[in-house]
Each structure stands twice: as structure tokens, then as C-alpha cells.
Amino acid sequence: MQFTVPIELGTTQGIRDLPRSLAGKAFLAVGATAFVALCAHVSFPLYFTPVPITLQTLAVILVGLTLGPTLGFSAMVLYLAEGALGLPVFSPNAGPGGIIQLLGPTAGFLVSYPLAAAAAGFVVRAIRIGRSQFPAAVLAGIAASLFIFAMGAGWIAFLLHLGTGAAWRLAVAPFLLGEVFKITAAAGAYTTLRRWNRP
């Protein structure tokens, strides 16, 4: 005869066990989309570019770090599906929302999120530097940001018929300093969560 012990979500053991069940994975994916949507609404427009400053990429990197490549990818695909259906999950300063925003100037950034989350999740689990996870998390954030900027700038260049220099000035250069902060913050948060969630 086998006895099972119910998982209590209020305990660290319950939290660690969440990704092991289908219901737990669904809960984490939906929670991740809500987190990214919240960060998308922390948004400041810039007069010289259609791309606003948001906390979205910080959220995407942190989602990838914490959920891993597969679940992080799936969560960001769900996020894009929610936005395409008209839910208010995209930045209000980047477009009208819905499917139209997935065809607008910031579409390349949005479409990059599943790949960026997967890259962050893969790199942080594949690389070990010293005893702390922080350096690996920083490298994972850089890998994710490369996807975000490459796809974001590439789409703007295609859509607006811009050269490389113009695309760089509109979609990359204004955001580099902020991205350093976001990568550092996401890596620090991930390292703290790992330490707190350790058995």
C-alpha cells in the first residue's frame, strides 16, 4: 500500500514541486505572462523612436532563468497568444494592442521573447562559473538580450526600410544602458530565489 503526502503551496517544498506537474506548469506559465504584462505597463515613450522604455525585457529574462528553456519558451508563446487575442498584456505606449501590435514596429521585440526566455533558461543551466549562479545568470541575460535586440532591430529595419545605422539608433543604442541594469537585476533576483528555494 502506498501513501502520498499532499503538496502545500505555502511551503518551499510545495513551490519546488510545482514544475513537476502539468497543473503546476500551467500555473507558472500563466503567472509568468501576468508578470511580463505588468512589467510591460511600466512604460515610458521616447520621442525619437517607436520603441518605448519598459521593464518587459527584465521580466522575460527572469522568466527564462527561473522556469527554464522549455517552460519559459511556452510561457512567452502563451503571452503572445494572449496579446493577439486582445488581452491588455502589451505595452500601451508601443501600439494599439491585439494582433495589430504584433505587426507594428515593436513586433520583432515581442516575437523574440520565447527565444530569449529559452536562451536565458538554457545558458544559466549549461554554464557554471564558481559557486554562485550570478555570473552564469548574467551571461544568460546577455544571450537573451542578443535575441531581443537582433530581432527587434531587424524587424524595424525591414518594416521602415532602414539601414543598419538607423536601426541601431532607433532600436538598440537608446536601450543598452537600461538593459545592463535589467540583466543585473534579473540575475540578482534569480540568484536570490535559488538561494531561498534551496532545500
> What's the pLDDT at 16?
56
Secondary structure class of 51 (helix, strand, coil): strand
* Predicted confidence (pLDDT) at residue 14 exceeds the cutoff of 80: no
* Predicted confidence (pLDDT) at residue 7 exceeds the cutoff of 50: no
CA distance 33 to 21: 19
CATH for 19-196 (1.10.1760.20, 1.10.760.10, 3.40.50.1820, 3.40.50.620): 1.10.1760.20
Which pLDDT tens digit goes with each residue over 79-100?
Answer: 999 999 999 999 998 888 899 9
Domains of the chain by residue range: 19-196
Look at 16-25, 48-57, 168-177 and tell me which has the smallest mean pLDDT.
Answer: 16-25
CA distance 87 to 107: 16
Of 167, 152, 169, give the one whose Cα is nearest residue 94. Answer: 152
* Predicted confidence (pLDDT) at residue 12 exceeds the cutoff of 50: no
* Percent of the chain surpassing pLDDT 70: 89
* Predicted confidence (pLDDT) at residue 13 exceeds the cutoff of 80: no
More confident residue, 4 or 35: 35
Mean pLDDT of the chain: 89
Look at 129-138, 140-149, 165-174 and tell me which has the smallest mean pLDDT.
Answer: 129-138
Q: Where are the alpha helices (DSSP H) in 41-163?
A: 56-84, 98-101, 107-126, 134-160
> What's the pLDDT at 77?
98
